Amino acid sequence: MAFDRNPPSQAEIDRWFLANPAVPGRTFELALVLGGTVSAGAYTAGALDFLIEALDAWTQLRDRGNGAAPQHKVVLRVVTGTSGGGVIAAIAARALNFEFDPIARDTPVGAGLTGNPFYDIWIKTLTLDRFLDPGDIGKDLSSLLNGAPIDAGAQLIIQFTGRGSVARRSWIAAPLRVILTLTNLRGIPYRLDFGEDRSEDYVDHADFMRFAICYSGQDIGEIRPDEMALGFDAGRLPQAATCEFSMAARGTAAFPVGFPPRALVRPTSQYRYRVVPLAPLRPTAAAVEPAYAVLRPDWDALISDGDVPGDFHFLAVDGGATDNEPIELARTALCGLLGSNPRDPAKATRAVLLIDPFAGKTTLGPDGPTSFLRILGGVASAFIQQTRYDSRDLMLAANDQVFSRFMLTPQLGATLGDKALASAGLGAFIGFACADFMRYDYLLGRKNCQDFLRTTFVLAENNPVFDGCWTPDQKAALAKQAGAGFLPIIPLMGSAAIDETPDPWPKGKLDPERYRDAIDRRFRTIFETELSGGPIRSVLAWLAAHATQRSVADYVLDMMKRYLAEAGLA
């Protein structure tokens, strides 16, 4: 199928990249950036579970004309997801069309599924027993761990219907834009022409996919030409295959080497629409040069022999493995490529909120000579940590004088960052070994989100967003902890006003030795499979399998035990 290889027109650039539409009166617009490395994504899932509960509780009272509810509006316009946050973004994209119960500490939870998709996928589905199952190991090995639990979680997302469709959530934009970041292992080839027969070729592996979600009862809104549209009302708009959305979520969650990469397909023409800002060549001069550039793929290199020109096939892994700027994608979705969001608390009308368990203080890597396996893990961790976010973005989000960027990270008393999590050990994989660890982090995410909405996610009370929307009685009841002269952007009402409490610190809940046989079995199978073929090679395979797999199990269990002792979890 042929497609247009020409760059987007100026009209398209103006409309889809440069437009900075005015925010409607008495309205605050929000973009979410969701992170969450492997099992620590349970924290992000819990925080989002509470955020949805809080928005529902307040807006339902407001829309019914309840006099206790402030009358301003909050609109969620975009969600970007990286790594485990991409899975959570996909869960939210599906779940927001349906009614489901939040999971707090006192919510009865049995052995089966709860009906809450965030909890069921993170706490009930993603378990180390399943990741260690050797049933996936065939002729070719694609990852150290079995990816089937991630597939099972993806199926739960696709099939989730909750208690049925909910009445339209007035706090969701139409459409809701969801952007999932990816590391594209195939890469996108570009050619830069400098004139006089000079050019430079390069390949970009930092990628992302855009989706437009339209919920039941909503107007369709405008769909970008580089988006895939998903809707819940049949026949209202073109449908992107649900499996493509699901596979994109699995791709961004595919921690390199640990989980299998995912085969994705997308319209090749979407790569026409890659427009990036340019730093001014002469900052003090009149604006002569354009402040943006249109990236032009090398189409001949992009479409290999045998490819269908209209489709681009590639393998994807963790979106955090390359610098794909999820915060910048969210920011520009609010205000355009060259726009900005006011930072003053009396003027801010839009904000980017980063929810990430590791955006704050985190554990450092090895400081001297160590084992090969620890070096290998340190290299992978270094790449992910270095490329996940731009330091400038984090500095703005952490600055308490900037009210267009906010950041929610783990906190328990004076303990910050990964030290407040139970699932931070073993490169944040240890949570999969103990559901109690992930449940603890989930409930901590809920508590931290509640505290954040009460005390930090605020604006000056003279901000036009609040003009005529708050009564003195409402201020007295709902803004006690917002600080003098400030009001909460999302007031806590109904069930969201009940104080959240996490579980007790899950000490003594994990015995690492219960996984020794499973680790032995998986790595024995890996070595026997990878080294099989021919009588001599088979003997070497047997020796390697029965020697090396034992050291792998010893290493992993030693790391688990060391972490449990250091974290007070033993």
Q: What is the DSSP letter of 71?
A: -
> pLDDT digits over 109-141, tens only?
888 899 999 999 999 999 999 999 999 987 777
Q: What is the pairing mode between strands 415-416 and 458-460? A: unpaired
- For helices 516-530 and 535-566, the axis angle rounded to 10 degrees is 150
* Mean pLDDT on 479-491: 97
DSSP result, 227-289: EEEEESSTTSSPPPPHHHHHHHHHHHT--TTTS--EEEEEEGGGGG--EEE---SSTTS-S-S
Q: How many CB atoms lie within 10 A of CB 319?
A: 34
Q: How far is CA 416 from CA 32, 386, 410, 431, 448, in A?
A: 21, 20, 6, 18, 11
Instruction: Say whether pLDDT at 295 is over 60.
Output: yes
| Eight-class DSSP state of 484 | T
> pLDDT-based confidence at 497, cuts 50/70/90?
very high
Q: Any idea where the domains of the chain sit in the sequence?
A: 10-508, 511-570
Reduce the DSSP state of residue 205 to 3 states and report it. strand
Q: Mean pLDDT across the stretch 142-168?
A: 89
Q: What is the pLDDT of residues 369-424, one digit of tens each?
A: 665 555 655 665 665 555 555 566 566 656 678 999 999 999 999 999 889 999 99
Q: Are 139 and 150 in contact (CB under 8 A)?
A: no
Nearest Cα residue to 465 out of 387, 349, 353, 381: 349
pLDDT for 45-74, tens place per residue?
999 999 999 999 999 999 999 999 999 999
With 0.85 as the threshold, say if the pTM is over it. yes
CB 324 within 8 A of CB 181: yes
Rounded Cα distance between 100 and 96, Å, is 9
